Structure 1
Amino acid sequence: MSAPSRFDRGHTDDLMSFLAASPTPYHAVAHAAERLDKAGFRQVAETDAWDGTSGGKYVLRGGAIVAWYVPEGAEPHTPFRIVGAHTDSPNLRVKPRPDIGAHGWRQAAVEIYGGPLLNSWLDRDLGLAGRLTLRDGSTRLVNVDRPLLRVPQLAIHLDRSVNSDGLKLDKQRHLQPVWGMGDDVRDGDLIAFLEETSDIPAGEVTGWDLMVHSVEPPAYLGRDKELVAGPRMDNLLSVHAGTAALTAVAAHGADLRYIPVLAAFDHEENGSQSDTGADGPLLGGVLERSVFARGGSYEDRARAFAGTVCLSSDTGHAVHPNYAERHDPTHHPRVDGGPILKVNVNNRYATDGSGRAVFAAACEKADVPFQSFVSNNSMPCGTTIGPITAARHGIRTVDIGVAILSMHSARELCGAKDPFLLANVLVAFLEG
């Protein structure tokens, strides 16, 4: 088949636009869906009967999306090639009773989501975005993308030891942002403000999933603009690359040997146990229904899954110049050194030798170098959707990603070349 054009610096420019437009998982999947629509994909409802026609399709559920492309003549037992990722990032999320305040300050009550670097949210201009649910059961995305909230740090004059003893933050007392002044704080003020700014009639909002975000846009950084600083790279960088790769492959996919899939889940940062998380039934249900819609049997489903491979793409740790001793001494992934292959013999990552061979073949086909990552033996190793996907579906899974600094900060840092290097590898992988 004729390979899609290689991604270049323009891909990184587009990533920055995607990050800025996707302050929440709900916005991220909505923008991914828009890109799929433009590429000829169509949304299918989970409540409808599915047909077995060829072409691109996708399912949206909350902050998750699963998209796939069925080439002409695909057999029911045709295996899948899956790019897995997640849409959520650690942040501060609004509580059921958002309106609090003290001493003349109007504040918003927030809860900690995932494992953020808490200090990175201090003294930063914050917007508010998410999903509102109305009385009729419909939902509306909202994004106040301007300085609205701020978590003010205590002045050094009132905490003289902060630089010598370190900053100590109480998650309940010290992270509630201010968003105005006044002693007459009333229940419903924040939601009423969002109704007004979103042209929703007063009192129509009965549910919400809201979170704060930094309004500082992504930017190139460095002497030669060789770095990118921006929010939510963990893990919208992979969601963006997977969407770009899937649409590119679908545009040239007449003779694909596999069915290419993008599965972007929510709730990875807190364990993936939800109906939109990797530990839920979403992916398995979509893949099975795709097999059965094409006239397949349970035997065909088993054959398809047995030949399926998933690349679990998530950001990883680049060697930190100020903390090199925290990394494995012989594994120092560098930014712009190509994607990283994540390995952990205790199955915190799903990669094994056969999976490494699949990834190496994709990198060779794409003419992209790759690096290996393992944790320092004295440090605990993080995990991803990879082991969950492998265990839940019996699918061979390989953990990969892009090396970054400041993971779980409100603003992270990567090399400007790595995003499009990853996208090129994902294209080669999905093509088979």
Structure 2
Amino acid sequence: MSEPPRFDRGHTDDLMSFLAASPTPYHAVANAAERLEKAGFRQVAETDAWDGTAGGKYVLRGGAIVAWYVPEGAEAHTPFRIVGAHTDSPNLRVKPRPDSGAHGWRQVAVEIYGGPLLNSWLDRDLGLAGRLSLRDGTTRLVDVDRPLLRVPQLAIHLDRAVNSDGLKLDKQRHMQPVWGLGEDVRDGDLVAFLEETAGLPGGSVTGWDLMVHPVEPPAYLGRDRELVAGPRMDNLLSVHAGTAALAAAAGRGSELSHIPVLAAFDHEENGSQSDTGADGPLLGSVLERSVHARGGSLEDRARALAGTVCLSSDTGHAVHPNYAERHDPTHHPRVDGGPILKVNVNNRYATDGSGRAVFAAACEKAGVPYQTFVSNNAMPCGTTIGPITAARHGIRTVDIGVAILSMHSVRELCGAKDPFLLANALTAFLEG
């Protein structure tokens, strides 16, 4: 194994800034693109003809980004090395008719996205962010990053059994946030407020994709600041690490024997079936067009994909000190123990023995320790973009990630060193 990398808290500081600046998938891909631009990448439009020149390129589509670096001398059949991740997190999303209220309270109607821990959204200061679609066909990002909304919990005096029987929340009745007072609820109030906030003329917004987010910033905690608490680590932690790894790999230039790729998809939390999800055509289209832009044929594409490997990076479960019995007794991943290799024989994760060897080699090259995660047999695990990527594109895929606590909470918890260790492992993988 190589010499272990010396922990750089600057990477984790930057992750915290990335999390705070990325309240939605649209903001996350814009921030990733900005970082890649600084590393010399340039955006290409899907509607334009692509050239096969060397260098870094990226495509933005909604809340997804696919970026790749073509080294000098790359052939049409040169294989890819892909880091896959997702940009979305479970949250509360604004309904098409958002203005509601009752009993003197003005509220915003929201729909539950993905599988959030609902109780973690209660009594939080919440902002609102997302994408506004304008009458002229353009879009505008908006972020009200101040206390604007709140989902108030029922007082214990009106629910005396809550601590003994557990909190029971009805998704329709109990999760609608308040944002003001007044009996006169008018359609268009929220959108008019956002138009004013974004400096747009009244009536210019004709569509929106808006979601609620906590405004409390990420923070170090613990005696020695060895832990990080923050929102959307599942899975912006991987998006941030993958972006840093791709920029680093691009610095190797012509030394690369393959084409490094970052593919960060939207809609993983609700099944990945969209034009920006892993089960959609985006990645396959980019890879195929990249081959063709370098003069490749169908045969070259098949050869390139046959030699391609993808690391599907998503957060996983660290052993919980208060619920250790929920974990497999022989697999207890710990925070700051290095990235985890996810295994499930029923293909909820895509890892097999050959994939394990690829990941082990990358970690050994980087001097990074790694751990293995497998679920307790009595508790079926979730899944990732890994099996989807493997099945859709015929690509050898390995599921990995960082072990965290409080997954799908509004505020998750990881070790301060693990994001840095993951980025080093991903860099070694992309560099080959």
Q: For the superposition of Structure 1 and Structure 2, which TM-score range results when normalised by the shorter chain?
A: over 0.9
* CA distance in 1: counterparts of 2:343 and 2:183, whole angstroms: 54
Tell whether the 8 Å contact from 1:3 to 1:252 is kept in structure 2 after alignment.
no
Tell whether the 8 Å contact from 2:2 to 2:365 is kept in structure 1 after alignment.
no
Kindly state the Cα deviation for residue 6 of structure 1 after the two structures are TM-superposed.
Answer: 7.1
Kindly state the Cα deviation for residue 9 of structure 1 after the two structures are TM-superposed.
Answer: 1.4
* CA distance in 2: counterparts of 1:342 and 1:397, whole angstroms: 11
* CA distance in 1: counterparts of 2:318 and 2:259, whole angstroms: 32
* CA distance in 1: counterparts of 2:283 and 2:9, whole angstroms: 32
Distance 1:2 1:318, change over 3 A: closer
Equivalent position of 1:157 in the other structure: 157
TM-score normalised by the chain length of structure 1: 0.99
Tell whether the 8 Å contact from 2:64 to 2:265 is kept in structure 1 after alignment.
yes
Tell whether the 8 Å contact from 2:89 to 2:269 is kept in structure 1 after alignment.
yes
Q: Deviations over 1:377-425 (max 9, x none)?
A: 0001100000000000000000000000000000000000000000000
Distance 1:414 1:391, change over 3 A: same
Q: Matched residue pairs, number?
A: 432
Distance 1:299 1:3, change over 3 A: farther
Q: Deviations over 1:167-205 (max 9, x none)?
A: 000000000000000001000000000001111000000
Distance 1:2 1:328, change over 3 A: closer
* CA distance in 2: counterparts of 1:418 and 1:183, whole angstroms: 50
Tell whether the 8 Å contact from 1:69 to 1:250 is kept in structure 2 after alignment.
yes
Kindly state the Cα deviation for residue 253 of structure 1 after the two structures are TM-superposed.
Answer: 2.3
* CA distance in 1: counterparts of 2:226 and 2:334, whole angstroms: 13
Tell whether the 8 Å contact from 1:36 to 1:243 is kept in structure 2 after alignment.
yes
Q: Deviations over 1:320-352 (max 9, x none)?
A: 000000000000000000000000000000000
Kindly state the Cα deviation for residue 255 of structure 1 after the two structures are TM-superposed.
Answer: 1.2
TM-score normalised by the chain length of structure 2: 0.99
Kindly state the Cα deviation for residue 8 of structure 1 after the two structures are TM-superposed.
Answer: 1.9
Tell whether the 8 Å contact from 1:84 to 1:262 is kept in structure 2 after alignment.
yes
Tell whether the 8 Å contact from 1:32 to 1:243 is kept in structure 2 after alignment.
yes
- SS in structure 2 of the partner of residue 183 of structure 1: coil
Tell whether the 8 Å contact from 1:117 to 1:408 is kept in structure 2 after alignment.
yes
Distance 1:130 1:323, change over 3 A: same
* CA distance in 1: counterparts of 2:228 and 2:136, whole angstroms: 42
Kindly state the Cα deviation for residue 252 of structure 1 after the two structures are TM-superposed.
Answer: 2.0
Tell whether the 8 Å contact from 1:6 to 1:424 is kept in structure 2 after alignment.
no
Tell whether the 8 Å contact from 2:4 to 2:367 is kept in structure 1 after alignment.
no
Tell whether the 8 Å contact from 2:350 to 2:387 is kept in structure 1 after alignment.
yes
Q: Deviations over 1:22-45 (max 9, x none)?
A: 000000000000001111100000
Equivalent position of 1:131 in the other structure: 131
Kindly state the Cα deviation for residue 428 of structure 1 after the two structures are TM-superposed.
Answer: 0.4
Tell whether the 8 Å contact from 1:242 to 1:423 is kept in structure 2 after alignment.
yes
Equivalent position of 2:204 in the other structure: 204
Kindly state the Cα deviation for residue 254 of structure 1 after the two structures are TM-superposed.
Answer: 2.0
Kindly state the Cα deviation for residue 78 of structure 1 after the two structures are TM-superposed.
Answer: 0.3
* CA distance in 2: counterparts of 1:300 and 1:67, whole angstroms: 20
* CA distance in 2: counterparts of 1:285 and 1:7, whole angstroms: 38
Tell whether the 8 Å contact from 1:95 to 1:109 is kept in structure 2 after alignment.
yes
* CA distance in 1: counterparts of 2:217 and 2:384, whole angstroms: 27
Equivalent position of 2:335 in the other structure: 335
Tell whether the 8 Å contact from 2:337 to 2:371 is kept in structure 1 after alignment.
yes
Q: Deviations over 1:216-259 (max 9, x none)?
A: 00000000000000000000000000000000110122210110
Tell whether the 8 Å contact from 2:7 to 2:417 is kept in structure 1 after alignment.
no
* CA distance in 1: counterparts of 2:21 and 2:220, whole angstroms: 17
What is the root-mean-square deviation of aligned Cα atoms in Å?
1.6
Equivalent position of 1:252 in the other structure: 252
Distance 1:103 1:67, change over 3 A: same
- SS in structure 2 of the partner of residue 65 of structure 1: strand
Distance 1:397 1:54, change over 3 A: same
* CA distance in 2: counterparts of 1:107 and 1:430, whole angstroms: 47
Distance 1:2 1:324, change over 3 A: closer
Tell whether the 8 Å contact from 1:7 to 1:424 is kept in structure 2 after alignment.
no
* CA distance in 2: counterparts of 1:27 and 1:337, whole angstroms: 30
* CA distance in 2: counterparts of 1:22 and 1:166, whole angstroms: 33
Tell whether the 8 Å contact from 1:101 to 1:108 is kept in structure 2 after alignment.
yes
Gaps spanning 5+ residues in structure 1: where?
none
* CA distance in 1: counterparts of 2:74 and 2:53, whole angstroms: 10
* CA distance in 2: counterparts of 1:68 and 1:388, whole angstroms: 20
Q: Deviations over 1:234-293 (max 9, x none)?
A: 000000000000001101222101100000000000000000000000000000000000
Percent sequence identity is: 90
Q: Indicate yes or no: 2:366 matched with 1:362.
A: no
Tell whether the 8 Å contact from 2:328 to 2:375 is kept in structure 1 after alignment.
yes
Distance 1:393 1:53, change over 3 A: same
* CA distance in 2: counterparts of 1:87 and 1:276, whole angstroms: 10
Tell whether the 8 Å contact from 1:4 to 1:252 is kept in structure 2 after alignment.
no
* CA distance in 2: counterparts of 1:164 and 1:198, whole angstroms: 46
* CA distance in 1: counterparts of 2:276 and 2:393, whole angstroms: 15
- SS in structure 1 of the partner of residue 110 of structure 2: strand
* CA distance in 2: counterparts of 1:309 and 1:33, whole angstroms: 23
Spell out the pairing of 1:342-381 with structure 2 (5 A cutoff): 342-381=342-381
Distance 1:21 1:4, change over 3 A: farther
Kindly state the Cα deviation for residue 3 of structure 1 after the two structures are TM-superposed.
Answer: 13
* CA distance in 1: counterparts of 2:247 and 2:234, whole angstroms: 21
Distance 1:108 1:296, change over 3 A: same
Gaps spanning 5+ residues in structure 2: where?
none
Tell whether the 8 Å contact from 1:125 to 1:149 is kept in structure 2 after alignment.
yes
Distance 1:2 1:425, change over 3 A: closer
Q: Which shifted more, 3-12 or 70-79? A: 3-12
- SS in structure 2 of the partner of residue 254 of structure 1: helix
Q: Deviations over 1:69-120 (max 9, x none)?
A: 0000000000000000000000000000000000000000000000000000
Tell whether the 8 Å contact from 2:335 to 2:415 is kept in structure 1 after alignment.
yes
Tell whether the 8 Å contact from 1:4 to 1:248 is kept in structure 2 after alignment.
no
* CA distance in 1: counterparts of 2:150 and 2:411, whole angstroms: 15
